[in-house]
Amino acid sequence: MAKYEVFIKPSAAKELEGVGTKKGRQRIVAHIRELTENPRPPGFQKLSGADKYRIRCGNYRIVYSINDDELLVQVVKIGHRREVYR
């Protein structure tokens, strides 16, 4: 299977910096790196009303879109589960 390229929007990178602990940030980065191998990992879910997906990382969610034609994963939003879908 081909590797996907991951692009993180600047706003999502800023949201990543706001994650509470260093360990939490490292876990989120590890999940994002895994998207290069498999953009649809076990536990991913398609969001209703949009062509976006999410994966869970503890209390945080990573919202992203997939472009299979260009082998591109774009991380759109990273945030706490109570705020990320707003």
Q: What is the mean pLDDT of residues 31-59?
A: 93
8 DSSP 8-state letter: E
The full set of domains in the chain, from first to last, is: 5-80 (3.30.2310.20)
The model carries a pTM of 0.93
- Mean model confidence pLDDT for the chain: 93
Q: What is the pLDDT of residue 60?
A: 94
Q: What is the pLDDT of residue 1?
A: 66
SS3 label, residue 31: helix
Nearest residue to 55 via CA among 41, 66, 68, 37: 41
Phi then psi for residue 38, to 5 deg, are -145, 100
